[in-house]
């Protein structure tokens, strides 16, 4: 069976066509699992978040306007679900303000050429939860520090501090690879 066009797939899912729902899940689950892992860190919890996010996706499909990409719309739901999970576990409670931020460490170009995407994702996953959350939101998802502060209930300075600390930890790991 040939994959359905996006609009047709969405319409079939809204009609509760189980095969279409399976197709939608199969089409996007792997990509969205990577998003969950970036935020959550451990695979079992990330799978729980993915499952919860897809439940929300199917419930909200009738509201999908079709003006943007379905993948982007699903990604936003997955990110928001991951953030809700992190808020429930209060990962930002032990964060420090900008006054504690460390200076950035420079890296050599040669190391960057040897660094694979898998290595970088592993470094991100190894960050403490608060650092990882802000790093993902700012560097990967493109949120501003103001948006991050509003979403996570922290100050903009704390968001900047967490991002800088995360970046510094990643840079140190990269330097250790030299």
Listed in order, the ranges of the chain carrying CATH 1.10.1740.10 are: 6-88
Residue 25 Cα distances to 18, 55, 75, 127, angstroms: 10, 10, 12, 29
* Length in residues, the chain: 178
Q: What is the pLDDT of residues 11-69, one digit of tens each?
A: 999 999 999 999 999 999 999 999 999 888 788 999 999 999 999 999 999 999 888 88
How many distinct helices (H) and strands (E) make up the chain? 9, 0
Q: Say how far apart CA 152 and CA 114 lie, in whole Å.
A: 34
Q: What is the DSSP letter of 177?
A: T
Query: Which is higher by pLDDT, 111 or 127?
Result: 127
Report the mean per-residue pLDDT for the chain: 83
Quickly state the pLDDT bin for 114 (edges 50, 70, 90): low
**pLDDT band at residue 126, thresholds of 50, 70 and 90?**
confident
Q: What is the mean pLDDT of residues 88-99?
A: 54
CATH: 1.10.10.10, 1.10.1060.10, 1.10.520.10, 3.90.550.10. Which one for 98-176? 1.10.10.10
pLDDT at 145: 92
Q: What is the CA radius of gyration of the chain?
A: 18
Domain range 6-88, CATH class:
mainly alpha
Q: Is the pLDDT of residue 90 over 80?
A: no
> Positive or negative CA dihedral for 119, 121, 125, 127?
positive
């Amino acid at each position: 069976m040939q994959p359905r066009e996006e609009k047709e797939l969405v319409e079939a899912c809204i009609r509760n066509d189980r095969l279409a729902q399976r197709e939608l899940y199969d089409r996007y689950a792997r990509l969205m699992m990577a998003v969950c892992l970036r935020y959550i860190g451990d695979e079992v919890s990330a799978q729980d978040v993915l499952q919860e996010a897809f439940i929300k996706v199917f419930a909200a499909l009738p509201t999908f306007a079709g003006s943007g990409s379905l993948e982007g719309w699903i990604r936003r739901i997955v990110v928001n679900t991951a953030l809700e999970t992190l808020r429930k576990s209060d990962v930002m409670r032990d964060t420090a303000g900008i006054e504690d931020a460390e200076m950035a460490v420079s890296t050599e170009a040669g190391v960057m050429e040897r660094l694979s995407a898998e290595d970088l994702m592993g470094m991100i996953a190894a960050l403490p939860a608060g650092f990882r959350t802000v790093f993902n939101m700012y560097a990967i998802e493109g949120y501003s520090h103001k948006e991050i502060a509003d979403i996570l209930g922290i100050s903009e300075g704390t968001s900047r501090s967490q991002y800088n600390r995360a970046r510094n930890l990643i840079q140190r790991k990269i330097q250790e690879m030299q």
